[in-house]
Amino acid sequence: MPTETTAADGAVSAIPKTTTTYSGVRESREFRYNDLGSTGAKVHADFEKKCLKKADRSFAQGLQCQQINSMAALMSLEDSVFIAHSPQGCVGCAGLAIDQYRVGQAHRGSKVIRTPRVIVSNLDAKSVVFGGEAKLREAVSLAVERYNPKLVFIFTSCASGIIGDDVDAITEDLQSEYPDQVIIPIHCEGFKSKVCASGFDAAFISISKYILAKEEKPQTQDGLVNLFAPVSISYRDQQEMERMLGLLGLTANYIPFFSSLEKIRRIPAAQASTSICKVFADEFMAQLERDYGIPYSHTVMPIGTRNTDIWLRGIAKTVGKEDLAEQIIASEHERIDSKIADIRSRLEGKRVFICGGTGRSFAAAALVEDFGMELVGLETPTYDEYAQDDIEYLNTIHKDFVVDIANMQPFEQANLLNRLKPDVFIGIPTWAAKLGIPTTHVLDMKRPTMGYDGIVYLGRKMADQLSNPGFNVKLSKHIKLPYRDSWYEQDPFKYIVD
C-alpha cells in the first residue's frame, strides 16, 4: 500500500512504501539529482519527462560533508559524548553546530553554558598504514572515564572507511566492556554520498538500530507528536511550532535537538510524527510508520503563510483534527494579515535570489509571494520529486527564474548574483554581502523565521535591510571576491557535465 504525503500545493501524492532497508545514501533513491543548472520551467519539464541526466561537476569548490550533518543532528543531546573517528580536520566544521548549541542554551535560560563533549581519535599517516582500532578504543575509554555519559556516539569518516576499521565489531566489544553506556556507531563516511542530508539519515538509522530496536513498543500516548528538528532551528521557532501544536491540543516530543535518551525512547509512543525541515527526518518517519504504525506528515518547511498553513493542515490530518486546524488558520490570518500587508508595501516588486537547504530554500521562495516579490534565482543542494512539487507551484507565480542545484559552490553563486543583480538575497549571506547586496539570513538559529510569527519577523528584516544597505555596500568596496572578471562573463554552469 502507498503512503500519502502532502505536496507543496496542498495536494496529496502517493509515495510507494517499501520494505527494503534504506542504505542511508540518498543517491540510492531514483530520480534524485545533485548537479544541475537550469530554469524553473525547464527543470520541471525535463523532470516530468524523465529527461534529466545524472551529471557531475568537472570542478567543485567545496562540498558539505555528511559526517558534519550527522554530528550536528545530535550535538545537543544531553549526557552524550561525540567521538569522531577521524583526523582532527574532519571536525573543523563542527564549530557552527557548537555555536548553535551554546546559543541555544542561552536562549533557553541556562546560566552555565556548556560546550559539547567532542573527542577526536586523531587518525594520522601511521593509522592509515596500521589501522586506527587502538586509537578508537582509547578515545572511548577516555570518554567514559572522563564524562560517564549515557550515550557514546562514534562517527566514522572518510579516513576510517578507507582504512577499513570494523567499527561495528569494535563497538560491540566496547559495549560489553561498558554496559552502563549505550555506544552507537554512525556510518557517515563523507565519500559515501554527495547529498549532505544523507548524514541525517545515517544518524537516525543508528538510533533506530541501537536504541529503539532494543526497546519494547510502548503504549501510544494520545496527543504526543514526534517533532523532528535540525540544529539550525532557533528556540523562538521551537516555541512557535510547539504553540501551533498546542492549539491543536497536541504535545511535542521535540527531537533530537536539545533532547535526551529518555525522549528518544518515547519516539515509538507517539500518536503521529512531523518534521520542521522537509528533508531532515523524512526517511526516518517513513520507517517509524513501517515499524510502529505511526502516521506522519511530510509536507513543507513552515516559512510563509501558505507553507505554514500546509504544515499545520498536514499534522492535523494525521490526528483527525482538520476542522480545528481551519479555525486556527483563520484566526492566525486575522492576527497577522494587516502586518503582512504593511510589509508588502515596502517589498513589492523587489527581485530576490534565494539559497538554502532543500527544504528551506523552496519554503523561502514561497514566502516571497506574501510580499509580492519577484524570484530571479534559486540555489539548493538536491532536486527530487518533492522539489518538483515546489517548482510546479513556483512556476505559476514566477517566470524565468534560474535554478542552481549545488552543494556549496560559491563560485557559481557569485557569477549568478553578478548577472541577475537581485535587490535582496535570502540565505547564508557571506558572498552576496561582499557583492554589496542586501542580505537576510533565513538559516538563523538565533531569531524566528518560521510559523506565523516568523513571517512578520523575516519580512520586516528584509524591508529594513533594503532601507539601510550601508554595511554591505561599504563591505563590497573594501573586499574583493577571489574571482577574475573573466569568470563573471562565462556560463556559470560550464563545469556541469553529463
* CATH number of the domain bearing residue 135: 3.40.50.1980
Cell numbers for 58: 568537472
Instruction: Report the number of distinct structural domains present in the chain.
Output: 2
pLDDT in tens, the chain (498 residues): 334 444 444 433 333 344 456 677 777 777 888 889 999 999 999 999 988 888 888 998 877 788 888 998 898 899 999 999 999 888 887 887 888 888 889 988 888 999 999 999 999 999 989 999 999 999 999 999 999 999 999 999 999 999 999 999 999 999 999 999 999 999 999 888 888 888 889 999 999 999 998 778 889 999 999 999 887 788 899 999 999 999 999 999 999 988 999 999 999 999 999 998 878 888 899 999 999 999 999 878 898 999 999 999 999 999 999 999 999 999 999 999 999 999 999 999 999 999 887 777 888 887 888 999 999 999 988 888 888 888 998 999 888 899 999 888 899 999 999 999 999 999 888 889 999 999 988 767 777 888 998 899 889 999 999 999 999 999 999 988 899 999 999 999 999 987
CA-CA distance, 159 to 157, in Å (whole number)? 5
Range of 187's domain?
A: 66-214
Query: Cβ neighbours of residue 486 under 8 Å, at least 6 residues apart?
Result: none
Mark which of 214, 233, 259 sits at the end of a domain: 214
Per the domain annotation, does 73 fall within a domain? yes
Per the domain annotation, does 321 fall within a domain? no
Per the domain annotation, does 60 fall within a domain? no
Mark which of 198, 214, 230 sits at the end of a domain: 214
Distance of CA 481 to the CA centre of its chain: 27
Per the domain annotation, does 349 fall within a domain? yes
Per the domain annotation, does 384 fall within a domain? yes
Per the domain annotation, does 162 fall within a domain? yes
Query: Cβ neighbours of residue 326 under 8 Å, at least 6 residues apart?
Result: 313
Per the domain annotation, does 310 fall within a domain? no
Per the domain annotation, does 46 fall within a domain? no
Burial state string for 124-146 with b = 16 or more CB within 10 A and e = fewer than 16: eeebeeebbbebbeebbeebbee
